Structure 1
Amino acid sequence: MNLNDKQRVEMANWEYASLDVGDPIKIKDIGTVGYVEEIVDNKETGEQAYIITPEKLPKNPTSSDLNKVTNVTVLYRGSTMPGKGDDWVKDWINTDLPAGSQIIGGGQQKPPAQFKSASQTLDNAMSRYKNAMFDVYGHSLGSMNGQYAVSDTKYPDRIHAAYLYEGPNIHSLLNDTQRKTAEKLNQRIFNYIDDKDYIAIGYAKASTVGMLIRIDSKKASDAIEQHMWGGYQFDKDGSIRTTTNMKIQLKMAQVDIVMQDQLKTLALLATRLTKSGGHLSASEQIYLDSSEVFIIVDGVASMVESSFSEIIQVCRQAIKETEEHWQDTVQRAQNVASHLSYYEVMDALTSGGATKARIMDEPVTYYEEKIAKAEKIKKEYQALVTEIKAGIEAQLSLDSALAKELQL
């Protein structure tokens, strides 16, 4: 499911909705993206979650039905409002407060029971949908549950991505094995934090579960709204506002996920092409050997093109803003010290550490290097596309039956 940052926040927000099995999950400008297949409401621990599948399954799905599901989304719900029913006690008293105390004070690692049941929910779903990759979403307490679940899973290779928002940092509560899993999945776990949100604690100079993304937020009307994504800002294309460097890191991680998706598509193709004897024909093997590169290059080429074009655009905008910042710095200094000459103003700025080299030249050089690297990769992909297509088409022409089966 290819969503932008804004749409992913909308997806995560569904965790707070009152849903029934079979209800559709809809995203603005896209429509229905899935259906509620299972509702988790653990009365003992307070954990609440929704299991979402892309297609609506029969009321009593067969093993064949379940095995056809290739993607599952798990939405972990955040804390119930204090005083609302009995569940808030399990969320706040039994989970949030003990976890927060350990995160702030350190000491013994003792994950709350809800964390463990959240992990069990994920692994149970992975056992049920044996051929599916999993996307995990969570906000606040749901983020903590998600952080723990993906770090504790028995099947880390089946985590497609995790999008976690405004949850305290639980890295210190993990054991060594869980930390290794979290590190392995670092480029697939996107941990969004608004520094104006008082709930998102434990991130100052600490290891984290996943890639930490400090957003460029605005001040919301109150603390609750700030916590509930009220400070989040998005560009016109739905990208979340953050630092230029983080935008580049995010885009590179997203490209890597798509490349891995293409390789899995190739593996499924290999299964389909395998004949009754259990072996690939010579032509089929040659096709797959070539296609491992072809799928990456041609299947991802358009995204690589657009992704690096976006990175280049971001870098060029950063260069423009950096140059304007230097000019503004000089202008403001001249306005304040109007009695000094231009060279005296420059000497004063230099003595205070505000040099042109530090403020403008070094950042501009950094971004120009990023642009050059992106341009180089784009050209390499374009050359490979042409070369690989020619090679594969030449091989397939030797086996018209295979070409017909593949419809190329």
Structure 2
Amino acid sequence: MVTEENYKDIADKVYAVEDGKDSYTVREEYTFQSNNQKFQVLKAKDNLDNGMQAMAVVPIVDGEPDTSQIVIAYAGTNRLDSKDLSTDIQSLGLGSNKLGNGSDLSAENLVFSDSQFVTALDFADQIAKAYPEAHITSTGHSLGEAIAMYVALKNGWSNVGYNGPDIANLISDKELLYMQTHPEEFRNFRNSSDIIGGITGNKTKTAIYAAGKKGYMGVQDILSNHSLTVWQFTEDGRLIYADGRISTGTAMSEFAEIKTSVTLQMATLRGLKDSFSSGGYTSSERIFLDSSQAQLIGSQIAAAAQTCAESIKKTCQEAISQAEQLWQDAVQQALAASSTLTEAEVKEALSLGGVTEETIVGATKTVFEAIETEAGTLAESFAQINSEINKGIASKLASDSELAGRFSQWQTQLSQSS
């Protein structure tokens, strides 16, 4: 599972695809470490016409590149690259898919090329075609995150990135509405004081203001607020919000994988359906198609509900732990402020102000344990529905050996196609 910290490191590493940008240059087969996970670059592209840098990376699992999960990353603005600055203005600001460059701004000296957003899509398409079974996500920082969101939107992928300007000027009204109603698929973490990342607003409603470095006074502060260094993470790679909350991003990534799995399996099922329909559906074919769709939907809904329940459980446990720590801190601070009182006397004094272990810890437990129980019950319900679907199909096949034989044949055909 690629974590939010991994995405941050990948978004940082892609800057080195540009030749001469760093002391080293990232190319194919380059490996790097992010937290406890090692990654390898599958493909890298430094487009000299428009200044786009991109790379596709995979985690190394058991010593081998795992091409079942690919992250495509795009580099952000290089302040010394006129093509990057032109992209910021012409694409993000004006919504153009062409990039005009030249020795000056006169029409006769302008040379037009495809914008970084156009060539970014081409790069992503190459990766998708080379690895059709892979689960692909995108990431980037600054301009790179804007490009990454754009690519994710066009391909139906999920995105996790940092400090990206809004892309509303580049997309259709229908696409804008989709982003506004599915912000969890385009997780663009921003610093609330980052005027660069926020320069085009938040019309897509995808920005998550998770960092809170306050204010700016000069150029250095503006750049610092836009930097990847402001982000902090837990040991397991989840982002820590400015107010101390922990992101539940792992669950969102799992939801994205479930969505991708459903999409691929439904596409395979549609292919089999088309082959059946050439001569009209038989009753057996109809039963198989209906049963397969029911099994697919039932299993994936059950998986999504279980993922959600596990995420909620983890969040609830963290909230209770924080409440317990808050109570202990309150007692210790009160003890430190009055050396003459015992711990029991301090707790008594706090209770007079309405601060007790029950009001802080007990009340928190009551609320979050109820939420956790409800989520678990819901997950069990969906698991039961899925089980009943499978039992119903098994019962039907047990009573019809001919149908069972055809089912087995079609399921084999389905698995070979997927």
Task: Check the 8 A contact 2:31/2:38 in 1, yes or no.
Answer: yes
1:49 pairs with 2:53 = yes
Alpha-carbon distance, 1:163 to partner: 2.0
Q: Distance in 2 between matches of 1:287 and 1:53?
A: 39
2:141 match = 139
- How many residue pairs get aligned? The number is 360
Q: Distance in 2 between matches of 1:75 and 1:247?
A: 21
2:373 match = 372
1:253 match = 252
Task: Check the 8 A contact 1:14/1:25 in 2, yes or no.
Answer: no
1:210 pairs with 2:206 = yes
Give the SS at the match of 1:212.
strand
The structure 1 residue matched to 2:84, chosen from 91, 104, 108, is: 91
Q: Deviations over 1:203-248 (max 9, x none)?
A: 99x655425161599xxxx977885533444334333334787634
1:401 match = 406
Give the SS at the match of 1:247.
coil
Query: Comparing 120-129 with 2-11, which one deviates more in the overlay?
Result: 120-129
Task: Check the 8 A contact 1:190/1:211 in 2, yes or no.
Answer: yes
Task: Check the 8 A contact 2:87/2:116 in 1, yes or no.
Answer: no
2:272 match = 273
Query: With structure 1 as the length reference, what TM-score do the two structures score?
Result: 0.67
1:118 match = 116
The letter for the 1-side match of 2:78 is T
Alpha-carbon distance, 1:361 to partner: 5.7
Q: Deviations over 1:225-272 (max 9, x none)?
A: 885533444334333334787634x35533432332232233233144
Alpha-carbon distance, 1:182 to partner: 2.6
Q: 1:47 to 1:30 in 2, by over 3 A?
A: same
Q: Distance in 1 between matches of 2:270 and 2:254?
A: 25
The letter for the 1-side match of 2:161 is L
Q: Distance in 2 between matches of 1:244 and 1:387?
A: 42
Cα root mean square deviation, aligned: 4.7
Alpha-carbon distance, 1:138 to partner: 1.5
Query: Comparing 385-394 with 360-369, which one deviates more in the overlay?
Result: 360-369
The letter for the 2-side match of 1:141 is L
Q: Distance in 1 between matches of 2:68 and 2:119?
A: 18
Alpha-carbon distance, 1:372 to partner: 1.7
Q: Deviations over 1:159-209 (max 9, x none)?
A: 2112221234566898856632431441210112356877544699x6554
Q: Distance in 2 between matches of 1:91 and 1:22?
A: 20
Task: Percent identity, please.
Answer: 19
Q: Distance in 1 between matches of 2:313 and 2:277?
A: 50
Alpha-carbon distance, 1:312 to partner: 0.8
The letter for the 1-side match of 2:117 is S
Q: 1:320 to 1:277 in 2, by over 3 A?
A: closer
Q: Distance in 2 between matches of 1:211 and 1:246?
A: 17
The letter for the 2-side match of 1:80 is N
Give the SS at the match of 2:239.
coil
Query: Comparing 368-377 with 293-302, which one deviates more in the overlay?
Result: 293-302
Q: 1:264 to 1:169 in 2, by over 3 A?
A: closer
1:62 match = none
Give the SS at the match of 1:283.
helix
Gaps of 5+ in 1: 55-68, 83-87, 103-108
